[in-house]
Amino acid sequence: MNMTLRYLLAVFGVVITVHYVLSFTHTDYRRATSLNSLTSHFKGVTPADITPIPDRYYPPFSNESLTVDHRANATFVILARNSDIDGTVRSIREIEDRFNRRFRYPYVFLNEESFSDDFKKRVSVLSAAKMEFGTIPRDHWYQPSSIDEKKADAGRNRMVEQGIIYGGSLSYRNMCRFNSGFFFRHPLMEKYRWYWRIEPDVHFHCDIRFDPFAYMEENNKVYAFTIAMYEFEKTIPSLWSHVKDFIKLHPEYLAKDNAMRFLSDTGGDTYNLCHFWSNFEIADMSFWRGEAYTKFFEYLDDKGGFYYERWGDAPVHSIAAALFAPASQIQFFDQIGYEHNPYTHCPRNEDTWKEEKCTCDPKRNFDYDGYSCMKQSAHSANARNA
């Protein structure tokens, strides 16, 4: 065997040895160099950027006990009625098992009526974390007196005739308006900067061993999602025209390098109906409390579309995040397996799916559904990185 060949074999042996050592000792390296990760670069456009979470956001745990040196100023927020107790218990049990037994972030429960003693008793046994229960102020929940009820009633009846889900529901509209513009103003929420929204009867399919709050805070993110989809156009027929009018009035609020490509295929002339499904969202409330979003919500609220039509908090939040924050501040968490019936996000990275003991079926991942907007999210990310 000549000297050149011996040298090449020796170098190859060293490289292989170092690769296996790094694969065993460094989670980031193992994920980045896995066959699944490497081949993904040759499959064309992927639904969205998968950002690896560095090892430092995975704190060590001793027998699953709390050993976190730093936590963000953050809380879970759960909007629920007393009648939602069974679904609420299931959601808390899952987020505790998968995440919060390690981190112990507090909970804030909000209701338009007082929570019953039974509700408080049943949820309080599920976590060692702090729990607070608040009643929503009337002017934050109920339809404002400025709304023309005759016009609003006609709009509800029209949607019922069209078979639109929640088309005739006034309480659903109250909820959408509250989630759009008021939950972060509640006195129990004012002391926090970050929130993670959880609803009754949702499922967390994978272990979440990293801290999403700490990751977002340290990486200058403002909004995180797991599922993106199209809105039902008949619920928001006039929303985009009002958005364009607002932008004309306040062009100073548009962020440089924003995510307009996620919202529009025509440079902003029309709305493609894409939004982040807001029943899961982790976000920075200083963004909602800031001047741009405050003026935006007040402008929309004055138009009455939450009641004359059926504007949801999902498109309102999504449009604001996509326009008033740089696209780089919007985070897709592929690592978090999440289900809100009937849709499921299951991690696309096979190593993550295995390591985090996911119970979801990757074949049911909504990311690849024709109704998903993950392709638009990828286009927005690609434009940002160009």
**pLDDT bracket for residue 68 (50, 70, 90):** low
**What's the pLDDT at 9?**
54
pLDDT greater than 50 at residue 191: yes
The pLDDT of 150-175, averaged and rounded, is 98
Q: Residue 191 — φ and ψ, nearest 5°? A: -80, -10
Q: Which amino acid is at 86?
A: D
Question: What is residue 23's predicted lDDT score, i.e. its pLDDT?
Answer: 44
Nearest to 345 by CA among 232, 209, 204: 204
- Residues 91-149 have pLDDT tens digits of 999 999 999 999 999 999 999 999 999 999 999 999 999 999 999 999 999 999 999 99
Would the CA dihedral through 278, 279, 284, 290 be positive or negative? positive
Q: Could you confirm whether 281 is annotated as catalytic?
A: yes
Q: Which residues pair with 331 in a beta bridge?
A: 224
Q: Per-residue pLDDT for 332 more than 80?
A: yes
- pLDDT at residue 143, as a whole number: 98
- Whole-angstrom distance, CA of residue 294 vs CA of residue 299: 9
Whether the pLDDT of residue 239 is over 90: the answer is yes
- Please give the pLDDT value at position 338: 98
**Residue range 282-308, pLDDT digits in tens:** 999 999 999 999 999 999 999 999 999
Average pLDDT of the residues in 221-231: 98
Q: Which of 94, 217, 281, 356 is catalytic?
A: 281
- Residue with more model confidence, 32 or 62: 62
On the question of pLDDT at 369 being above 70, the answer is yes
Q: What is the pTM of this model?
A: 0.84
Query: Considering all CA atoms of the chain, what is the largest pairwise distance in Å, rounded to the nearest integer?
Result: 92
3-class secondary structure per residue, the chain? CCHHHHHHHHHHHHHHHHHHHHHHHCHHHHHHCCHHHHHHCCCCCCCCCCCCCCHHHCCCCECCECCCCCCCCEEEEEECCHHHHHHHHHHHHHHHHHHHHHHCCCEEEEECCCCCHHHHHHHHCCCCCCEEEEECCHHHHCCCCCCCHHHHHHHHHHHHHCCCCCCCCHHHHHHHHHHHHCHHHCCCCCCCCEEEEECCCCEECCCCCCCHHHHHHHCCCCEEECCEEECCHHHCCCHHHHHHHHHHHCHHHCCCCCCHHHHCCCCCCCCCCEEECCCCEEEEHHHHCCHHHHHHHHHHHHHCHHHHCCCCHHHHHHHHHHHHCCHHHEEECCCCCEEECCEEECCCCHHHHHHCCCCCCHHHCHHHCCCECHHHHHHHHHHHHC
What pLDDT was estimated at residue 224?
98
Domains annotated on the chain, with CATH: 73-385 (3.90.550.10)
